[in-house]
Each structure stands twice: as structure tokens, then as C-alpha cells.
Structure 1
Amino acid sequence: MKLFRCRYIVPIRTDPIEDGALVIDQERIVAVGPAAELAARYPQADMVNLGDSILLPAFVNAHTHLELSDFPQWAAEVHSPEPEQAGFTSWLLRLIRVKIARRVNGEASKASWLNGLRQSIRSGTGVIADILSESGFYATVAEQLPGRCYIEVLGHDPVRVHLQWDNLDHCREHWPTSQWGAAPHAPYTLSDDLLEQSYRYTSCRHLPTTVHVAESHDEIEFMHQHRGPMVDQFYPFVGWTPFLDKPRHQRPLPCLEKAGALRPDTLLVHGVHLNRDEIATVAESGCSMVLCPRSNAKLQCGVAPVAEYLAAGVNLALGTDSLASNDSLSIWDEMAFARDWFQGELSCEQLLHMATVGGAKAMGFDDLGYLGAGSRATFQVLRAEQSPVRSQLTEHLCHSERTNEVSLVVIDGHIRYDRSIEEGA
């Protein structure tokens, strides 16, 4: 049993505690409260005095593609500079071209994934919803990923899609104690039939899913009006032109609804271009929505209607997406950017909730994202030269500078990052 004492404990579900303490026993939290009270109650606990620091839940990154973490280096190696002006489809084509030119294989993807995992944890993230398309390192993912791995399902070839389902069955059979799910990529990359089959498959196996929806203008134009750069550029490039003979003339969310995707264990991602009626449908379904503001900004996708999501009561979470469309995997950076990007429509309290409890709820974890008796011992510690006064604590926690102040990350009771050890090495 250990007792962590510090200047502030931020439980999230209850008010911050000054001169607080956290008691853990193996992977669970036993108690949270005033340090003097817990020290007297648990005299047998080993005390870890963290001094003038802040202890709060490790963040939940509810949408990542960690296997793309080395994309900036790959692009530099094949001399593919980032264009100054590029829409979503142009970005998507560049992503594919770089991977082809760089000849990215399983080993490169594994190294990239591990790099992204390290970056995530050292920036205070302790729970990750990761989408994986490569199949060569499932054992590594099962052993090291704190959170859930969603196996990507993508394409118009039924044989390939069925193989991806087989890969997911393989993972569940060989690593049953790990968390697995399916990631039907998006309505614009799966036919109606394969999308519906994917959700029948996951429903029968009681598997959670995550899916991109209404991310860009290009997607809306393709799905609803059957025109635009996806028709003219993307589908011909990937050899899918024969599948253009069946226009849907339907927006993305109704396609998902028709396929049976709108259920409480579905994690929707982006949702930049949903209208008010569609947002009401999302709220009624019980789906959560992951917002990725920095990725949306970089790909010029637009600003998600966050005020309407809040008004409808949709559970919101935060995700960084990948380093192919973002500059870091830090949720601290994402919160700071979101505060300005949404022009004050999200308070610091709401952003912290999205980064913790909201993300955990979105992934179906009811014992993560907060600090309380019985919850998992998954937390981070910030250590700076000087902590804020209590009245400014929440405001203090909405700045990207906090990324560099993460000194300790504990996941399920195990230290996964300790800056003092890293600096002393």
C-alpha cells in the first residue's frame, strides 16, 4: 500500500483537495482525501511525498492512430513536404503516397507505434483508444497498450474485410484479457453492405466500435452529392472507381444509422459536419463523440458544433488523431488548442471532463478518468517550479505548458513514466 501526498489532488468528480493524498493498493485506489487524515488512517502505507505538485487522473486519448507516429520522418525521407494549402482528400492521398514511397512495412509500423505510445504516456496519457491497421505486432499491442485497440475494417473487397474480422477474432482468442474492438473506418470507405455486415458482426460478439463520421466537406460532398475530390481523385487512385456506380445520395450519419452503428458502445469521431437533427439522433442513440480540433484545423475540415453537442447532452471526449495530421500526441496541447478553437464555448472544467471522465465513458470504462475509492490507480503528476493558488488551479490546467511538467505517470498501479529516472539515465 502506498500513500502519495502532494500540494493538490484533482479527483475530477469532486473538488480539488489542497494538501491532499491518494492511497493505492496494487492497481486500485483505496482512498482520496486530506493528507493528514489519510496518513492517520493508513499508518502502514509507504508515503511518497511529491511536494509542491499536482496529482490528477491520467488523460484519456479517445482517438489515435499510433502506427502513424513516425509519419513526419517518413515524409521527410521521401521528400514529401507538407503543402501550405491542402484539403482533406489531398492529405489522404499524400498519406498513402508517402507510405508507398517509404515502403512502410510491419517493422516500421511497430517502431512507429511504440514511439507514439512513449510520447503519449510521457505527456500524461494513461488510457488510449487506438486504431490499428497493421497485423504484424498484435502481441506487442496486447501487452503494452493501456486502453483499447480497435482493429480497422476498410475497403470494398469482401475478402479483405472478412480477413480483418478474422484478425480481430484472432486477437480476442489469443489475448482475451486485453481490450479489443472494431473500427469500421468510415461510410466513404465501406459499402453499405459491408458497413452493415461489420455492425452485425460486432453486435453478435458484443464488441465496441469506433468510426470516423462527417469529418470533412469532401466526405459530405462525396456521400450526399456524389461528386468532389473523392470521386475525382481518391477513388480512382485506390482503384475503387467500379464502386462509384451506386451513388448513395445520403449523408454519413444516416448511413451509419441504417447500418445499425448508432448504439451506446459506438465511439463516433470528428462529427464536424453534423447538423442539429443529426446531433439529436446521436444524443438519443447514446453514442459518444470524440472531437479532434487540432487535426480538423490542420486538414481544414472546419469547426465542430460543440455548443450544439453540449446542448443535446452528447458525451464528449478528446482525441489527438495521428502525427500525420497533428503536431503532438499530448492531450494537454489538445485542451489548450480547443479552448481557443471553440472560442470559449468549452470551459476549463468541461475540457478537463472531456479529457478524463468523458473519454473513459466513451470507451466504456466506468473505473477510469477520475480519482476515487475503487477506481483504477491510473494518474499523472505535474511538477513545476511553482504551483498555482487554488482559485487559479483549473485555469492553470488548461495550458499546453503542462505537457513538459509531467513528472510521473502511473497506470493500473504501475509506474510507466518517471522523469527523474529518465533524466538520471
Structure 2
Amino acid sequence: MAASAETDKIRIYQADWVLPIVSGPIQDGAVAVAGENIRAVGTRTAISAEFPDAEIINFHHTILLPGFVNCHCHLEYAVFRGLLDNRSFGNWILDLIDLKRKIGYEDFVASSELGAAECTASGITTLGEAMSSGASFDAIRKAGLRSRVYQEVLGIDDHQLAETLARLSARLDRLVEQAGRLIEVGIFPHATYTVSPKLYSAVGEMAKEREMKVSTHLAESGTESKYIKSGTGVLALDLREKVGWDQASHEPFGVTPVKFLQQWNVYNRDFMAVHCVRVNPDDVAILAKNDVAIAHCPKSNAKLGCGIAPLPAFFQAGIRVGIGTDSAASSNIMDMFG
């Protein structure tokens, strides 16, 4: 009787094809689910025979597969779709800052809910969310998405380093307390042009102490590479003036963004670099040696004219690579099929 009662709770999803990913495709496949747990995967004949009293839902001419993992996104920017087209990377950054200043927290909440709904509708079930204002946190919980929410941190002026770290620590404490079982909290030092070396190092230490993952935008554009190598360009001048960092000192480092970060001991298996478009063979070797993962965002890279990431080199080096939509502000869509 107990076995029969358990069988009554099982629901079988059938489709012309089931793609388990970890094994080959199954024609006329089925998946047996009990509550939130997958009980069995196989042919519809075998699964129906194993659970004869289960409810059956047949999707017919479809392909059934696990939910997508969107490794990098910014749900808060969903409402900026189409507002930042036809811009170079540097000008895109400057105009994004202006747009963010024009809306309030409640607008970011609505934007996050829109982004979460679009992700869910396209089959995304897990996110790597780079969160700025905090608005996307509740949207993710409301949508029932599994997520690693990376709290963004920025800071160039090391005179404010202690205050920056204190604010970050307090925010992380609140997020961990509210996270629940589907959300993991991480840290997102924004990029090499918005985070000082000392802040990167401090974030790395904080992440180790808290056993958290770290992610950052890295080697995304030629504009970023120019800033790190020669200390010039839009990011060195216009960006710093716009956000009030024009008085903070900056010296060129003469290296690539990947080599720049290597100096501050942030790379490890728990570090995910987003983009990695402007990398050379030495950079790839550094990332592979430190077991750094990469979030590849092809739509964003294309829209902003950043280039094409060398995926074959990543794979040959044994680097873990996932796909990200990035934000609708830089890709216009948060759909893995778009």
C-alpha cells in the first residue's frame, strides 16, 4: 500500500525526445517526477511500466531537457532594452550610468521581475545574477528560480576601502539571512576599470573567509584593455569624471586585464570571469592554470562590438565555459534561444 501511495504522487512527462544531457537522446522518452525530485528517466514504455498509476502529461512533438543555466545576467536592467543600441563599449557604459540615475528602486524591482519572467519563459531555471541595487533578489525568489546572486561592489579610491568593505559585509549578511534554499550569495567586483587592486584583493580574502564564489567582468573590450595597459581612453577620462573618480590616481599597468588581476591573487576554482573576449594565449594559460571558469556572453559581445571570444582555445585548455545572456541593456533579450 505504501508503494502504491507513493506511485500516486508521481507525474510522468512524455515527449518525442528527451535529452538527459549526461547521456544520449531518448526517442519517445519520459521523465517521472515526484514533487521536486526526478525519479526516473527513460523511454515512455519503460517509465510507464515502472509507475503504472502515475499521472501522464504528454507534450507530443517536443524536446524535453533540463532547464538552462544563465551564467551571467543583470535582471535589474531589463527595462533598458533597445535604449542603448549602436554605441561603442565606452559610450554604452556612460549612457547606462545616465539611465540608471533616471529611475528609482521600485522601477528596478519591476525591471527585475520582467527579466525574471523572460528568463523563465525561455526555459532558464538557474541564474548567475550580478546584482547592483538589490532589487533583483526578491524577483528571483518570487519567480522560484535557483540562483547564485553576486552582490556587486565598486571602488577606486582606496581611502574609502574600509567603508566600502564594511557596507559590502553588511549587505552580504542580510542577503545570506534572506536567501533561502534556492539562492546562494556571491560577490561581484564589477570590473578592472571600476575596482582598485586593493579592493579586488580584499574581496578575494572576504570570499575565502565566507566560502563564497566571486565573479567579475574581465577582458570584455578593447576599451578595457587600453585602460589597463596604457591608462588612457574613455574609461580613464570620461567614466572617472562622470562618477566622481577623476581625482583618484591611476597608473598604466602595461599588461592585459587577465595578467593585471593575476597580480592580486583572486584567481581560483571559485572565480568566474565574464566575457574574456580580449585574451591572448598567455591569458588563456593563466586562466586554465588557476581553474577559472568563464561566462561566455556572445549576444552582448556582438552588440557592443567587443569581438569574438576564442572558445576553441578555452576548450583545448580545459577551461569550464558556460553561456550567459548578460543584460537586456547589452543584448536586448534574456532568452537563451534569441
**Same topology, TM > 0.5:** yes
User: Structure 1 residues 112 and 267 mapped into 2: Cα distance closer, same or farther (>3 Å)?
Assistant: same
Deviation by residue 1:113-144 (Cα, 9 ceiling, x = unmatched): 00000011101111111111113564444454
Unpaired runs of 5+ residues, structure 2, are: 1-9
Query: What's the counterpart of residue 291 of structure 1?
Result: 296
CA contact (8 A) 2:77 2:327 kept: yes
Deviation, 1:184, is 1.0
CA contact (8 A) 1:60 1:318 kept: yes
Deviation, 1:254, is 2.3
- CA RMSD, 1 decimal: 1.7
Query: What's the counterpart of residue 19 of structure 2?
Result: 10
User: Structure 1 residues 165 and 252 mapped into 2: Cα distance closer, same or farther (>3 Å)?
Assistant: farther
Query: What's the counterpart of residue 96 of structure 1?
Result: 97
Report whether the alignment pairs 1:173 with 2:174: no
Deviation by residue 1:211-264 (Cα, 9 ceiling, x = unmatched): 110000011110111112212211122111222344433322123222222111
Query: What's the counterpart of residue 221 of structure 1?
Result: 226
User: Structure 1 residues 169 and 121 mapped into 2: Cα distance closer, same or farther (>3 Å)?
Assistant: same
Letter in 2 for 1:56: L
Q: Within 2, Cα distance between the matches of 1:175 and 1:99?
A: 25
Deviation by residue 1:45-92 (Cα, 9 ceiling, x = unmatched): 22112222210111111110000000137x4xxxxxx464x3211000
Letter in 1 for 2:169: W
Query: What's the counterpart of residue 116 of structure 1?
Result: 115
Q: Within 2, Cα distance between the matches of 1:295 and 1:234?
A: 20
CA contact (8 A) 1:130 1:148 kept: yes
Deviation by residue 1:302-334 (Cα, 9 ceiling, x = unmatched): 11111211111111111111011112111112x
Report whether the alignment pairs 1:146 with 2:151: no
Does the residue aligned with 1:111 lie in a helix, a strand or coil? helix
Deviation, 1:154, is 1.1
Unpaired runs of 5+ residues, structure 1, are: 76-81, 334-425
Deviation, 1:9, is 0.5
1:300-339 equivalence runs, <5 A = 300-333=305-338
The total of aligned residue pairs comes to 323
Does the residue aligned with 1:241 lie in a helix, a strand or coil? coil
CA contact (8 A) 2:201 2:265 kept: yes
User: Structure 1 residues 72 and 35 mapped into 2: Cα distance closer, same or farther (>3 Å)?
Assistant: closer
Report whether the alignment pairs 1:185 with 2:190: yes
User: Structure 1 residues 257 and 110 mapped into 2: Cα distance closer, same or farther (>3 Å)?
Assistant: same
Q: Which has the higher contact order (CA 8 A, sep 6+)?
A: 1
Q: Within 1, Cα distance between the matches of 2:308 and 2:135?
A: 36
Does the residue aligned with 1:317 lie in a helix, a strand or coil? strand
Q: Within 1, Cα distance between the matches of 2:250 and 2:17?
A: 60
1:239-318 equivalence runs, <5 A = 239-318=244-323
CA contact (8 A) 2:237 2:246 kept: no
Deviation, 1:176, is 4.8
Q: 1:208 aligns with which of 197, 209, 213?
A: 213
User: Structure 1 residues 245 and 262 mapped into 2: Cα distance closer, same or farther (>3 Å)?
Assistant: closer
User: Structure 1 residues 182 and 22 mapped into 2: Cα distance closer, same or farther (>3 Å)?
Assistant: same
TM-score by length of 1: 0.73
Does the residue aligned with 1:8 lie in a helix, a strand or coil? strand
Does the residue aligned with 1:259 lie in a helix, a strand or coil? coil
Q: Within 1, Cα distance between the matches of 2:68 and 2:81?
A: 24
Q: Within 2, Cα distance between the matches of 1:11 and 1:136?
A: 34
Q: Choose 177-186 or 87-96, whichever is displaced more.
A: 177-186
Taking only the aligned residue pairs, the percentage that are identical comes to: 31
